[in-house]
Amino acid sequence: MIEALYLFSLATMALAISPGPDNIYVLTQSLTNGAKSGIATTAGLISGCIVHTTLLAFGVSIIITASPVIFFSIKVFGACYLLFLAWKVYKRDANISLDNKVSRKSHWQLFKQGVFMNLVNPKVLIFFLAFFPAFLWDETGNTVLQFYILGITFMVVSFLVFSGLALLAGSISSYMLTHKNTGFALKWLQILVFVGIAIYILLPEN
């Protein structure tokens, strides 16, 4: 359990740091309207994850109980999807664009918008489906509980990383502007994480 959570936390941290729509949005909110706005947005984005975790926990747990073959098929799908994400990142421009034209909203509005952005994005649930099952430490145990532990871990780690981005938005943006290789390094970090998790999923069980 400890090893699985440790690896899961490292992978989550690496993905949270890597440039994506969510953390770029948090960063731009922070640059434009202050760190508290970025943290409010982060809280909304992370809160939506509990819904995806619940859907995943009960849906996949039923599948695991019903058929190990189907669950293995889900893991193969997950590995293929992660490799597809790695390919999309590889094809993407490494330059990081921070658009400061972000409208000012109250912290409550930003929180609600973050929740909405998370819930209406079907890619989040697909990503959870690809990502989480690989880190179950006991497929014969209480998988619902394990999924919730993974979900809460994902939420805590992501919240800490995103909040750190919000608090350090000015320094981070200045660093990105003066170090042109930052985007390239983060791009390949994301690719390595996606490929690494895909390989981890496909490794035979001990």
DSSP 11: H
Assigned domain for 66 exists: yes
Domain membership of residue 195 (yes or no) is: yes
Give the separation between CA 52 and CA 48, rounded to whole angstroms. 7
Is the per-residue pLDDT at 151 higher than 90?
yes
- Predicted confidence at residue 91, as pLDDT, reads 85
Closest by CA to 152, choosing from 63, 35, 57, 68, is: 57
Residues in CB range of 65: below 8 A, 6 or more apart:
143
108 lies in a domain? no
Give the global pTM: 0.78
Residues 6+ apart with CB under 8 A from 33: 102, 104, 105
Asked whether residue 102 is domain-assigned, the answer is no
What percent of the chain has a predicted confidence (pLDDT) above 90? Answer: 19
User: Containing domain of residue 160, as a range?
Assistant: 2-93+121-202
Backbone φ and ψ of 176, nearest 5°: -65, -35
Q: Which pLDDT value is given to residue 150?
A: 94
183 lies in some domain: yes
Any domain includes 109: no
Residue 30 CB burial class (10 angstroms; 0-12, 13-18, ≥19): buried
Beta carbons of 193 and 11 less than 8 angstroms apart: yes
pLDDT tens per residue across span 39-54: 999 999 999 899 889 9
* Structural domain includes residue 107: no
Mean local confidence (pLDDT), 95-116: 75
pLDDT score for 138: 84
In the chain, the number of structural domains is 1
What amino acid occupies position 86? A
Report yes or no: 135 and 150 within 8 Å, Cβ to Cβ: yes
